[in-house]
Chains A and B, each alone.
Chain A
Amino acid sequence: MKCSEFLNELTSYLDGVLDEKTKSELENHLSWCHNCYVVCDTTKKTIEIYRDSQLYELPEDLRSRLRSAIMTKCQQHKKRGPQSV
């Protein structure tokens, strides 16, 4: 497997959806190609860091304010009839 072929399969590899044969070719490539190993490892870390980051968490007080605003508007919509959204 060449480096360009590795890149084409990287997303499927990280998502765990590669067939066994391609997966073992890719892992063989990673065992000797340091650059691709680093790209693979740091891409995986990138995803994990974003996933675990709690970026843009909705604070509880804002959350309940938004929810009650939504439900109030829903009630108004129900009273006015289905054409109002």
Chain B
Amino acid sequence: MGAIQNKLEEPVSEELALVRAAKKGDDSAFEELVRRYDRNVFRIAQHITQNREDAEDVVQEAFLKAYGNLAKFQEQSKFYTWLVRIAVNEALMKLRRRKPERTVSLDEDIKTEDDSLPREIADWSPNPEQQYTQAELREILSKTIQGLPPGFRTVFVLRDVEGLSTEETAAALELSIPAVKSRLLRARLQLRERLGRYFQRRDGENGKTGNTRNGDVKNGDVASGDGNQ
């Protein structure tokens, strides 16, 4: 088992050329930047806000803010990292407005106990995602990630879905590198455990011999008491 494959990175110089042209007033260069990153910004925004209309607003507001502040962009990071930072802030503002009863922040109190250590170890089916239709799978994935605190799911989305590096994620979220690493581990483990409810290997699967008996899941089935299979 090896490392997961990283996404290919866009050449930075091309992005920088567009940014410099846009700074000089070339709107078609800015439009090209919108074209490049609108889907990423939308995904990030929807993951954070969990609301489609809010995510659409965030896309518009983030790009408009980037446009208005382009002169202040120092080119010390990638434009994309800077844009993500703007978008995350806009998305968090939306979330706060929608859920004023609780403070929403990336620094919200996250337990540092062993709250996300694996409790459910049971193995998964060989190709678990193929047990479901595309629509069902999206529903499962969406519901599962929405159960994570915003600080966890944002780190997971930036690192694992959008492919930002640990350093870029830390810069975009104004978090320390150890904080990003610790949240990423917890997010990954919590998602793994929650997805296990849907993807667990059933008895007799994959050519296994033996009877199909209920309650035969071993290794401490602590987490799946809600029968969400």
Chain A contact residues, CB within 8 Å of chain B: 7, 10-17, 30, 35, 37-51, 53-58, 62-63, 66-67, 69-71, 73-75, 77-78, 82, 84-85
Contact = CB atoms under 8 A, between A and B. Distances in A.
Interface class of chain B by DSSP = helix
Interface class of chain A by DSSP = helix
Interface stretch (B8-16, B26-34, B92-100, B203-211): B26-34
Nearest to B31: A71
Interface stretch (B76-84, B102-110, B186-194): B186-194
Given A39-B118, A44-B4, A49 B31 contact: no
B192 A43 contact: yes
B3 interface: yes
Contacts of A48: 4
Contacts of A41: 1, 123-124
Interface in B133-149: 137-138, 141-142, 145
B225 interface: no
Interface in B165-183: 166, 181
Contacts of B122: 38
B35 A67 contact: yes
Contacts, number: 144
Given A51-B163, A77-B68, 8 more contacts: A39-B189, A41-B123, A45-B128, A47-B160, A48-B4, A49-B137, A69-B60, A70-B59
B69 A42 contact: no
Given A38-B122, A70-B60, A74-B67, A46 B195 contact: yes
A77 B138 CA distance: 38
Interface of B: 1-4, 6, 25, 27, 30-31, 34-35, 38-39, 42-43, 46-47, 55-56, 59-60, 63-65, 67-69, 71, 117-118, 121-124, 128-129, 137-138, 141-142, 145, 156, 160-161, 163, 166, 181, 184-185, 188-189, 191-192, 195-196, 199, 219
29 contacts: A11-B181, A14-B188, A15-B4, A16-B3, A30-B1, A35-B118, A38-B121, A40-B1, A42-B192, A43-B189, A43-B192, A45-B124, A48-B4, A50-B160, A53-B138, A56-B46, A56-B142, A57-B39, A58-B38, A63-B39, A66-B38, A67-B31, A67-B34, A69-B60, A70-B59, A71-B31, A77-B68, A82-B71, A85-B68
